[in-house]
Amino acid sequence: MGKIAVHVKLTATEGKGAELIEAFRSLYDGRLDAETGTEMHVIHQAKDDPDAIHFYELYADDEALAAHSTGESLKDILPKLAGLVAARPETTVLEPRHGKGLGQ
């Protein structure tokens, strides 16, 4: 079983891209470090559309992704997103094949 990557696009409520990024700050204060198997979790803001927020996530395997998806970090974040997200997330689950830093 190989690594699993996830790409998520969130569309912020108009003009609230920076606030949406700030709502996720607590994830990057050590919470994700405590998740076994969460290898990379990066938040991005589109340069040409500050209300387009993207995540790139890399997990050791399916179990690590499942643990993250049902873990306390995400449960704690969800209430902070009220009024900041304009649409349902667009999520794509990927299987990395080749790349620098993957160790594959």
Q: What is the mean pLDDT of each run of 10 residues along the chain (104 residues)?
A: 93 98 91 91 97 97 95 91 96 93 67
Nearest-5° angle of CA 48, CA 23, CA 6?
A: 65
CA atoms within 13 A on the CB side of 23: 20
pTM of the model: 0.90
